[in-house]
Structure 1
Amino acid sequence: MQVPVSPVRVAISNDYEVVVRGVHAMLAPFPERIEVVELDLNCPPKEPVHVTLYDTFSQARVDSPELASLVGQEHVGAVAVYSWDLDPRQVEVALARGCRAYLDKAMSAQALAHALERVAAGEIVVSRRGSADDQRSADAGGSPASAGSAASAGPGPDWPGRDAGLSAREAEVLTLIVQGLTNEAIAAQTFLSINSVKTYIRSAYRKIGVTRRAQAVLWGIHHGLLPARKRITDPASPASGSVS
């Protein structure tokens, strides 16, 4: 029997502040159900939480050491992967490594909140895009009328470079370039073909107005595409945080 938890204490984990703050903003309309207590940039949660939501931006592979270091720590709670990539191979690896959920970043804020509640109650939750799971999850957590318009009209996932017109995938590839990865290494990490990687690179370069890799790296350094190491223990404050 599921034991409801209210509110669910959540830590959001990623390497980029704009990413974790975007997810936090999505969950803000549900303060009585979801309490985001930490935003963790490239470091594990410090406070005990029920669920750690691990956003995979720039760390597409779920067999990464960063994710492995979270699973099994009592104060980290259940680990839920949050990703646009629903490749069954990734889902299988994540669950085999002890993650308790694999959630689609395309789901609504209402559906995400309800999924986190289910994970905190002990369920294993896996999104299946196109199967109407998101809508069922939203309905189970409350009808659109009862949830209010703030949830349906609220912000969605964010990423570095979005304000420059980069898609999430273009930005992900560009952040890996800034970190020094080769095209082949990027393809392996993102489960993309080498030709797809090159296509994303060309379109990203066109949008940011560069033609060479060195120029792209310099642009990325000046536009927040380098990973950070920081723990934000007061997510409601835009200036809060400490270097670990």
Structure 2
Amino acid sequence: MTVLNVALVNDYEVVARGVVGMLRSYTNRIRVVELDLNKQVDERVAIALYDTFAGTQGDRAVVRQLATNPAVSAVVVYSWNLDPVHIAAVLANGAAGYISKGLPAAKLVTALEEINAGGERVHIGGPTIPSVMAGDWPGREEGLTEREAEVLALITQGLSNIEIAERTHLSINSIKTYIRSCYRTIGATSRTNAVLWGIEHGFRPDRVRIEHPEPTPGTADVAVNV
């Protein structure tokens, strides 16, 4: 059986390591050759798995850049967002596949293999996605769900509620709900308290990604990662 070389792309080391931990029983099928935290993907890989936790979604410049990287054969977006319109936009943006973060490890591995073989491109499970406590994220040990942690990470990065809603493709009311439940869990009484708590508990990204605005038609697409 061919072993797939995969580069895992995420700005938070705890998240990247968590995905690697999920795959630990499948090293005969999947080999993570790069944790792309502070550098570009430079080793030849079959798949760059782009985890959207607290980052831009798959319909933005980062995925387009990965798709044009000669070291990357295919980009697969790994996300909680199951909106069909959004998924179609991600695929049109250059991604070869889209996988729900609600899938357990065995199905994640199978999905990656199928996408690599040119089969089914979208893997989101059945009509209802089970709640899978897969991988890891900052604040998990404090009782935060991954969605609450993602919202707190974006707050810690300085984004407003409107910007967070746009980044995550969630409604502003959903964002407010996650913020309230997050605050209750960590004992924060204000946004300033939440930011300070986030800084103290690993919610600043391990990689700082500087992106220029999305280009207008006819202009070059430029992004700088440091």
Q: For the superposition of Structure 1 and Structure 2, which TM-score range results when normalised by the shorter chain?
A: 0.7 to 0.9
Find the aligned partners of 1:6 and 1:132 in 2 and give their Cα distance: 32
- Structure 1 residues without counterparts, runs of 5 or longer: 135-153, 231-243
Which residue of the other structure, out of 171, 175, 198, is the alignment partner of 1:220?
A: 198
1:229 Cα deviation from its structure 2 partner: 2.2
Q: Does 1:129 align with 2:107?
A: no
1:42 Cα deviation from its structure 2 partner: 5.6
Find the aligned partners of 1:208 and 1:55 in 2 and give their Cα distance: 25
Q: Is the 8 A contact 2:147 2:178 kept in 1?
A: yes
Q: Is the 8 A contact 1:105 1:157 kept in 2?
A: no
When normalised by structure 1's length, the TM-score is: 0.79
| Identity across the alignment (%) | 50
Q: Is the 8 A contact 2:6 2:30 kept in 1?
A: yes
> Per the alignment, do residues 9 and 158 of structure 1 end up closer, same or farther by CA in structure 2, a change over 3 Å counting?
same
Find the aligned partners of 1:214 and 1:133 in 2 and give their Cα distance: 34
Amino acid at match of 2:16: V
Find the aligned partners of 1:155 and 1:6 in 2 and give their Cα distance: 28
Q: Is the 8 A contact 2:7 2:33 kept in 1?
A: yes
Q: Is the 8 A contact 2:102 2:129 kept in 1?
A: no
Map Cα deviations across residues 52-95 of structure 1 (whole Å, 9 max, x no partner).
11111112522222222211212122101111111112211111
Q: How does 1:163-242 map to 2 (within 5 A)?
A: 163-229=141-207
Shift >6 Å, 4+ stretches: none
Helix, strand or coil for the counterpart of 1:28?
A: helix
Find the aligned partners of 1:222 and 1:194 in 2 and give their Cα distance: 26
1:25 Cα deviation from its structure 2 partner: 1.0
Q: Is the 8 A contact 1:10 1:37 kept in 2?
A: yes
1:131 Cα deviation from its structure 2 partner: 4.5
Amino acid at match of 2:50: Y
- Structure 2 residues without counterparts, runs of 5 or longer: 209-225
* Greater CA drift, 165-174 or 119-128: 119-128
Q: How does 1:1-244 map to 2 (within 5 A)?
A: 6-41=2-37, 43-59=39-55, 61-131=57-127, 156-229=134-207
1:177 Cα deviation from its structure 2 partner: 0.5
1:122 Cα deviation from its structure 2 partner: 2.9
Size of the aligned set, in residue pairs, is: 208
Amino acid at match of 1:68: R
When normalised by structure 2's length, the TM-score is: 0.85
Amino acid at match of 1:189: R
Q: Is the 8 A contact 2:60 2:93 kept in 1?
A: no
